[in-house]
Chain A
Amino acid sequence: MNTVSMEGVGKRYKGFELSDVTFDVRKGFITGLIGPNGSGKSTLIRMMMQMVRPDQGQVKLFGQKLDGDAARLREKIGYVSDESYFYEHLTLKRMKNILAPFYSRWDAEVFHRYLDRFELPENKKVKELSKGMKMKFSLAVALSHSAELLIMDEPTAGLDPVFRRELLDLLAEQIQDENRSILFSSHITNDLDRIADYIVFVNKGRLIFEETKDTVIERHALVKGGKELLDADVRPLFIGLRETDLGFEGLMASRDSAQHLFGGLALIEQPTLEEIVYYTAKGKGEQTYV
């Protein structure tokens, strides 16, 4: 049983459409939901939180369909929002006092340990915290009620590089027992990708792929070569292409076909996740030929 199953979900807004997105968040693993700004990541996350209802398809959490108001399931979720939603005029202590009673498995000791670890002063008001500190507070709350699923919407925004690295250890600690699952979304590929087991890539409201990160990286090929290698037959085989006076650089979905086409003629490299996202979002830049 997967922790989260998105089954063909769709949602239509003015000027934006999410259509037929299917993916899972697997138990005991870290899943990265990546894609450019406005690709639909936050909408997908809000569907899991029942803040937004899908027009088509269904969402399953812990094997249970989200049709009625499945509020109880949220007790098993630690949610870190992209923007702080805490009451600005309250101290962290007051804020905690408001939140704790809603969770039957709230662990005050764990919470204080995180406050210490993140160097968060309990008597400060939320509004006195920096963006990164608010994120840490949000994380401390999310990790203090034995959640089985941690959902983080753009968690690295506002975090300094030092803490981003520390976050890797923190998240790895969470999945040591194999029972917890983590989903994070990100529009920039970043340090978190290092520990992601699965990558779900959405672009313009559509699912591009859902695979283990290792497969994604090994399967794709980054081809670099002279412009004379490109012609009308070859261009369509690229996912994304960048051409300059000095040559081209392009992403292909299959390493084997890249080898077959360009072996010995061009440089064929293993792309980084960032390059895969970049070229997929960019496309072939047809406008240059119009």
Chain B
Amino acid sequence: MDILISNSSGEPIYAQIFSQIRQSILTGELPAGSSLPSIRQLAKDLQISVITTKRAYEELERAGLIDSMVGRGSFVSGVNREFLREQRLKAIEENLSEIVVESRLLGLDKQDLIALLESVYEEEQG
């Protein structure tokens, strides 16, 4: 597992750790049951504060992605990956329906929106 921290992105460091570990879990790079580095080891490796890594782990725990056991460390939880994927799909759907509502207010039709999406897509890829 790689974790790369950017100091210039403006995104809080704990959030960067959270999303990168979540990514590794969702792609299956970190299978259920595999152990994560200890909070203090991760802080040392990334040269950041213990409290920051602790917060990232707490968020991961709250999201049901990892389990932490006192004295034994943290493990990727046995949560069904499909279930997690569905949850995220649902989130995307919600965002999209918001976008559709917004677009109607601005008088954009379906074709305009698709064109917009395509250009955003290209930008992201490029």
Binding site for B on A (CB under 8 A): 28-30, 165, 168-169, 172-173, 175-176, 178, 194-198, 212-214, 218, 269-270
Q: Is B12 in contact with chain A by the CB < 8 A criterion? A: yes
Contacting pair A196 B49 (CB below 8 A): yes
Closest Cβ of chain A to B38, distance in Å, is: 8
Q: SS class of chain A's interface: helix, strand, loop or mixed?
A: mixed
Contacting pair A195 B48 (CB below 8 A): yes
Per the bound structure, the CA–CA distance linking A187 and B100 in Å amounts to: 53
Per the bound structure, the CA–CA distance linking A30 and B54 in Å amounts to: 14
Contacting pair B40 A214 (CB below 8 A): no
Contacting pair A218 B49 (CB below 8 A): no
Per the bound structure, the CA–CA distance linking A178 and B50 in Å amounts to: 10
Per the bound structure, the CA–CA distance linking A206 and B41 in Å amounts to: 35
Per the bound structure, the CA–CA distance linking A198 and B51 in Å amounts to: 9
Q: Is B14 in contact with chain A by the CB < 8 A criterion? A: yes
Binding site for A on B (CB under 8 A): 10, 12-14, 40-41, 43-44, 47-52, 55
Cβ contacts under 8 Å, B43 to chain A: 172, 195
Cβ contacts under 8 Å, A218 to chain B: 12
Contacting pair A168 B49 (CB below 8 A): no
Closest to B55 in A: A214
Per the bound structure, the CA–CA distance linking A173 and B38 in Å amounts to: 13
Q: How many A-B residue pairs have CB under 8 A?
A: 48
Closest Cβ of chain B to A91, distance in Å, is: 34
Per the bound structure, the CA–CA distance linking A165 and B47 in Å amounts to: 9
Contacting pair A214 B14 (CB below 8 A): yes
Per the bound structure, the CA–CA distance linking A175 and B38 in Å amounts to: 12
Cβ contacts under 8 Å, B12 to chain A: 214, 218
Closest to B49 in A: A197
Closest Cβ of chain A to B49, distance in Å, is: 5
Per the bound structure, the CA–CA distance linking A55 and B50 in Å amounts to: 35
Per the bound structure, the CA–CA distance linking A270 and B11 in Å amounts to: 10
Closest Cβ of chain A to B7, distance in Å, is: 9
Given contact pairs A176-B40, A214-B55, A218-B12, A169 touches B50 in the complex (Cβ within 8 A): no
Given contacts A195-B48, A213-B52, A214-B49, 18 further A-B contacts (CB under 8 A): A28-B50, A165-B47, A168-B47, A169-B47, A172-B40, A172-B44, A173-B44, A175-B50, A194-B47, A195-B43, A195-B49, A195-B50, A197-B49, A212-B49, A212-B51, A214-B12, A214-B55, A218-B12
Cβ contacts under 8 Å, B51 to chain A: 29, 197-198, 212-214
Contacting pair A214 B52 (CB below 8 A): yes
Contacting pair A194 B48 (CB below 8 A): yes
Closest Cβ of chain A to B106, distance in Å, is: 19
Closest Cβ of chain A to B10, distance in Å, is: 6
Closest Cβ of chain B to A162, distance in Å, is: 14
- A and B contact pairs by CB, cutoff 8 A, 12 listed: A165-B47, A168-B47, A169-B47, A172-B44, A172-B47, A194-B47, A194-B49, A195-B43, A195-B50, A197-B50, A214-B55, A218-B12
